[in-house]
Homo-oligomer: A and B are copies of this chain.
Amino acid sequence: MATTHPTADPIAAPDPAAATPAFSPLYQQIKELILQSLQAGEWKPGEAIPSEMELAARFRVSQGTVRKAIDELAAENLVLRRQGKGTFVATHSEQHVRYRFLKLVPDSGNEGRAQRSILECRRLRASAEVARALQLRTGDPVVQVRRVLSFSGTPTILEDLWLPGHAFKGLTADQLVAHQGPTYALFELEFGVRMVRAEEKIRAVAADDQQAALLGVPAGAPLLSVERLSYTYNDVPMELRRGLYRTDTHHYRNDLS
């Protein structure tokens, strides 16, 4: 597994899969191996992965090397460490930070759950634009969902989701309505699709008549347009989302460093 490393197994198995020309440190290779197991579903979201000692034994490296690999996975929010208990596969379900990717927060105070209303959930063929974003071919099957999220009864977010049809075969509006908690949790539970990172492009736009009606604002009102592309492991895009946020009582919060 190691391309070269000093003490452990210096001459051991020449590693038939050593087709990697570029050097990478041992702990990166270990990280990659753990990543592959995560991707393959060897451990389900919320479950514990093997202890550092076990992994060290499995991969024939020291605990410190495994630790450094896991450190990086934890920094990327792929995995969650809990002292005295173990290391757990991150999930959108009961992660203490629910709605990890939603950065819209109320201007003051807290708010309860979001009320979801599904306006549409249908299968169609990918437009050129959607196909490009999701790395599909134009005309490939996709699922489109349109919904409104309300906080304390006020419609605040109008969004469209596009999902690759092959990965979300059985998705129905009923399922979306029935499910409690983050939609990304549903994707994990029902379709085995885990979103691990996303990129957002944010703009200010004016509401058109239809959007204004759905959000209960005057036509032409300024709205935050948030286009999000979400990725599973290995940088595979699995969801395109276009959201319109009302920002009269909420704001998009971002921390820079």
Interface residues of A (CB under 8 A from B): 75-77, 100-101, 103, 196-206, 220-225, 228, 245, 247, 251-257
Contact = CB atoms under 8 A, between A and B. Distances in A.
5 contacts: A103-B254, A202-B251, A204-B223, A204-B247, A222-B222
Q: Which secondary structure dominates chain A's binding surface?
A: strand
A97 to B, nearest CB: 12
Contacts of A100: 256
Given A204-B204, A247-B204, A255 B222 contact: no
A252 B75 CA distance: 24
A224 B199 contact: no
A209 to B, nearest CB: 15
A252 B202 contact: yes
B204 A256 contact: no
A196 B255 CA distance: 11
Nearest to A71: B71
A257 B197 contact: yes
Given A202-B251, A203-B251, 15 more contacts: A75-B75, A198-B257, A199-B253, A199-B256, A200-B256, A202-B224, A203-B252, A204-B224, A205-B247, A206-B206, A222-B222, A222-B223, A224-B224, A228-B256, A254-B254
